[in-house]
Structure 1
Amino acid sequence: MTTEQSFLIEGGNSLHGSVRCSGAKNSILPLVAAAIAVRDVVSFQNVPDISDLQSLLTLIQAMGVKLVSFSNGEVVLDTRGPIETRVENTNGYSLRGTQTLVGALLGREHRAMLPSLGGCSIGARPIDLHIKGLRAMGTQFEWKDGYLVGQAKALKACDVYLDFPSVGATENLLLAAALAEGTTRVFNAAQEPEVYDLISFLNKAGARIVPVFPFGFRIEGVAQLHGASHRIIGDRIEASTLMMATAITQGEATITGIDVRHIWSIVAKLRETGAVVEVKGDDAVVVKGVPGYRSTDIRTLTFPGYPTDAQPQMTAYLTLAHGNSVVVESIFENRFGAILELERMGARIKVAEETAIIEGVESLNSATVQAKDLRGGAALVLAGLAAHGTTTVKSIHHIDRGYEALDGKLSQLGAHVTRVNQPEVS
């Protein structure tokens, strides 16, 4: 009999105390991919121990990268040896972080072969934007035997306009252009903090990348990159999750290790509901939840707008707000996967295409619910923290993909969250 891990969450306990955020999931994955373009020894600090990273490290080791060490939040990689350009999906992993291997491999070897991309079940996540930009730089692409095959005799600088400011496409173009001939300009590029974190590392490694007003980057190609050490930024989505967990339980907690400039949309929306959010310096916030908090509306946008990765958690929070809230998901289709599970707990939510209308209720009830994706799983944890009784959240491997010991951090703040093995239901 096979088993899977679940969370047992005893609701009704307010969160209090202080907790530090881990490094950003959405930084470390492209940074590890970027190491391949460097051909040297690189090290990253403040690294989260999450399953997506473990999967990516396993994958790149099979390609020829040497994992020198991974301990105490530091990863050291040696990419000086030969690198296999064909990425094999041999262990059934599924993660979006593999997409930036395309730009890294093209920059280094002028060839890349990747299987169909994975990640959460929250929409198509098309790679068309990546392909369009890299084609403009001289790469030819074809789908062959389930693989996306890209190759170029040489990468040539050009001007690229992205039809949508995709984070992944921006990162791929930065990696490829860093080693291309000439100066590339990328317009309508993603402005997320994790993109700037990647640029910070690449510039330490010898790249020449500068911002171009408005919303663009200029990349002067270099012949070779060199080794570097880089401390990654704090995880703004983990910080947002912990902030909303504190607010939904009417607790008071300090969240540290996060650049507060990266979470202003969360701060603003929580304040609109009546929660008290105090900014402490550059890297901490104090959140105090209040009874009878108000409804609000959100629309997901690219940074600095409200992040799609924090939408399911806010949806869970608003189920207990006084009044009706409107949530518009404009980034990914099918990102309301947690709503059916929230309704099992007593939430009242109507969904029409990309819009969810939430009628606040007085209380949520415990239930057995299933995480279907990373952020939706976190939303169910928040609901369980506030519900009456003990909630079981199943399939928490989705949550472990992007949160380092979420149960441990919540328990540190006084939540009653237990990780258990239960029989897997097919």
Structure 2
Amino acid sequence: MKEIIRIEGGHKLSGKVRISGSKNATVALIPAAILSDEPVTIVGVPEIADVKSLKILLEELGVNVVMKGTDHIVIDPNGMENKPMDSETVTKLRASYYFMGVLLAKYKKVVIKMPGGCYLGPRPIDLHLKGFEALGATVRYEGGCYHIEAEELVGDKIFLDISSVGATINIMTAAVYAKGKTIIENAAKEPEIIDIATLLNKMGAEIRGMGTNVITITGVEKLHGCFHEIIPDRIEAATYLTLAATAGNDVTIENVIPLHLDGLISKLVDIGVELSVDIDKIIVHGRKEKLTAVDIKTAPYPGFATDMQQPLTALLTQCEGQSVVTETIYTERFKHCNELNKMGADIDIRIPSSFINGPSVLSGTSVEATDLRCGACLVIAGLIAQGTTEIHEIYHIERGYENIVGKLRDLGAVIEKVTID
């Protein structure tokens, strides 16, 4: 028995949809909260599978976790113990690596299995480990686990060869209790990093420069509890923007920060989508009859986000001419193209680029969500396909999208989650 998403295509969407709290921020905020010895309250938590996995991991460490309502989490690390993180949940959740920096900071020792998550090509954590070593830790891999420990952590200047979001966050959290000052150069600038640094500063950390490529952390001796509200999910917002542009008329996307979506908005306008941008919402009025092909090249923030290119590819199949998507972050992030081709798309994959020839008439068929954003792409494709689309392996989608079936149904989609043999 397994669950699939079934979509009947060809129904125009309209209405309002509210964007949830940021998935990419949440999965780092929750581990960061245990740096305190007092309860931390986080509001705006999306109801997604990754949060359930993080709750399991926290409880394995003896942390008391209380969910109040659907988006309100209280994390109390008072009874926490530093245990080896070697359960199956660790290997399924990419974000489990955020416990490395947190536990190293708090206990000067961490034992953890290699984290899992969507396979998007090589995703090494060597930058994280080099950062820990620069702070004074030793790292060894033994018995299927990383063993990271230090007698003490001392601030240092750390240059990241790649402006990695994960490495920036992990080094930042590891450095909050380090002696002296830590400077991260070529730091990632994503909004989620600003959100995590904001939480830590509310807890009593001294972090400056977040949102720039140089972050400075001055070590402190203690962190306390606080209240924090998560920023809106810019990738979920991008998905619904693209979805509305592909299959909707007069769709309002609420609870967004438009600045975080500048790269996508400009491309949608180039394609021929008509929209209005307000302070905290975007209205997609519709699209021109003839859409224009565009070229996309992913880049670290504020460039075009790698997580946005997969959902956008569904819209590019409807554009006149050839669109080119070049992936510079995760070079194997093209499995969605094979699934779109099953539906009638004309996409040629020549890594690190895909060449989308359109417009194509898509037809419903059985497809597989090979990763989170591939799943989002297939949902969009299913909404405009002729006939019925069945999407398998939907646990990938549920890792990062809160109630996607319900939200789409409210917009007028004919969509359901069903159990099959």
Using the size of structure 1 for normalisation, the TM-score is 0.96
Taking the aligned partners of 1:379 and 1:361, their CA distance within structure 2 comes to: 16
Look up the match of 1:159.
Answer: 157
Q: Which amino acid aligns with 1:287?
A: V
1:48-99, Cα deviation, whole Å (9 max, x unpaired): 0100110111011011111133423100010112322411224576111111
Distance 1:390 1:213, change over 3 A: closer
SS at match of 1:233: coil
Alpha-carbon distance, 1:289 to partner: 2.7
- 2:175, 2:217 within 8 Å by CA — same for their partners in 1? yes
The CA distance in 2 between the partners of 1:308 and 1:280, in whole Å, is: 25
User: 1:418 maps to what in 2?
Assistant: 416
The CA deviation at 1:26 is 0.3
Match of 1:217 in 2: 215
Moved more, 66-75 or 163-172: 66-75
What residue identity is the alignment partner of 2:200? L
1: CA distance between counterparts of 2:393 and 2:96?
A: 23
Residue 299 of structure 1 deviates from its aligned partner by 0.6
Alpha-carbon distance between aligned partners in 2 of 1:93 and 1:56, rounded to the nearest angstrom: 12
How far is 1:43 from its partner? 0.7
Which amino acid in structure 2 is aligned with residue 109 of structure 1?
A: Y
Displacement after TM superposition at 1:214 (Å): 5.2
The residue aligned with 2:31 is 33
| Contact residue 167 and residue 195 of structure 1 kept, 8 A | yes
In percent, how many aligned pairs have the same letter?
A: 39
* Aligned: 1:88 with 2:63: no
Match of 1:101 in 2: 99
> Which blocks of at least 5 consecutive residues in structure 2 are unaligned?
none
Among 276, 292, 295, the alignment partner of 2:293 is 295
Contact 1:85/1:109, CA 8 A, preserved across alignment: no
Per the TM alignment, residue 245 of structure 1 is displaced from its structure 2 partner at its CA by 0.7
Q: 3-state SS of the aligned residue for 2:148?
A: strand
Instruction: Note if contact 1:107-1:179 (Cα within 8 Å) is conserved in structure 2.
Output: yes
CA distance in 2, matches of 1:414, 1:62: 41
Give the Å deviation of 1:11: 0.6
Query: Matched residue of 2:28: which SS?
Result: helix
- 1-side partners of 2:81 and 2:317: how far apart? 49
Aligned partner of residue 335 in structure 2, secondary structure:
coil
CA distance in 2, matches of 1:397, 1:213: 32
Taking the aligned partners of 2:81 and 2:318, their CA distance within structure 1 comes to: 52
The Cα offsets for residues 333-383 of structure 1, whole Å up to 9 and x where unpaired, read as 211011111001000001111100100124211111111110001100000
Larger mean CA deviation between 246-255 and 83-92 belongs to 83-92
The answer to which of 123-132 and 211-220 deviates more is 211-220
* Distance in 2, Cα, partners of 1:381 & 1:127: 31
* 1:369 paired to 2:367: yes
Note if contact 1:15-1:245 (Cα within 8 Å) is conserved in structure 2.
no
SS where residue 4 of structure 2 aligns?
Answer: strand
The separation in 2 between residues aligned to 1:124 and 1:60, in whole angstroms, is: 27
Q: 2:333 aligns with which of 323, 332, 335?
A: 335
Alpha-carbon separation, structure 1, partners of 2:162 and 2:376 = 27
Instruction: Show CA shifts across 1:95-124 (max 9, x none).
Output: 111111111001100011110110101112
Aligned length: 420
Which residue of structure 1 aligns with residue 275 of structure 2? 277
Question: How much is the aligned-residue C-alpha RMSD, in angstroms?
Answer: 1.3
**What are the Cα deviations for residues 223-259 of structure 1, in whole angstroms up to 9, with x where unaligned?**
0110011000000000000011111114221101111
How do residues 129-168 of structure 1 correspond to structure 2 at under 5 angstroms? Answer: 129-168=127-166
| Greater Cα offset, 299-308 or 247-256 | 247-256
CA contact (8 A) 2:91 2:115 kept: no
Q: Closer, same or farther in 2 for the Cα pair 1:126/1:326, shift >3 Å? A: same
Query: What is the 5 A alignment of 1:308-347?
Result: 308-347=306-345
**Residue type of the partner of 1:268?**
S
Q: Which residue of 2 aligns with 1:76?
A: 74
> What do the CA deviations read for 1:102-157 (whole angstroms, capped 9, x no partner)?
11001100011110110101112100000111100001000010001100001100
Correspondence 1:306 to 2:295: no
CA contact (8 A) 1:59 1:88 kept: no
Distance 1:250 1:198 in 2: 34
The letter of the residue matching 1:272 is D
C-alpha distance in 2, partners of 1:8/1:40?
45
5+ long unaligned stretches in structure 1: none
- 1:379 equivalent in alignment to 2:377: yes
8 Å CA contact 2:102–2:173 kept in 1: the answer is: yes
2:206: which partner in 1?
Answer: 208
| Distance in 1 between residues matched to 2:258 and 2:238, nearest whole Å | 11
1:37-48 → structure 2 map (5 Å cutoff): 37-48=35-46
Change beyond 3 A, Cα 1:214–1:19: closer
Structure 2 length as normaliser, TM-score? Answer: 0.98
CA contact (8 A) 1:48 1:404 kept: yes
- In the alignment, the residues of structure 1 paired with residue 171 and residue 90 of structure 2 have an alpha-carbon distance, to the nearest angstrom, of 27
- What SS is found at the alignment partner of 2:92? coil
Q: Could you tell me whether the CA contact under 8 Å between 2:90 and 2:114 is conserved in 1?
A: no
Q: Distance in 1 between matches of 2:91 and 2:184?
A: 31
Instruction: Give the partner amino acid of 1:412.
Output: D
Contact map agreement 2:104 2:110 (CA 8 A) in 1: yes
Instruction: Please tell me the residue identity of whatever aligns with 1:182.
Output: G
> Which residue matches 1:398?
396
- Which among 175, 196, 199 is matched to residue 194 of structure 2? 196
Give distance in 1, aligned partners of 2:214 and 2:406. 39
Distance 2:86 2:72 in 1: 26
Task: Give every structure 1 segment of 4 or more consecutive aligned residues whose post-TM-superposition deviation is greater than 4 Å.
Answer: none
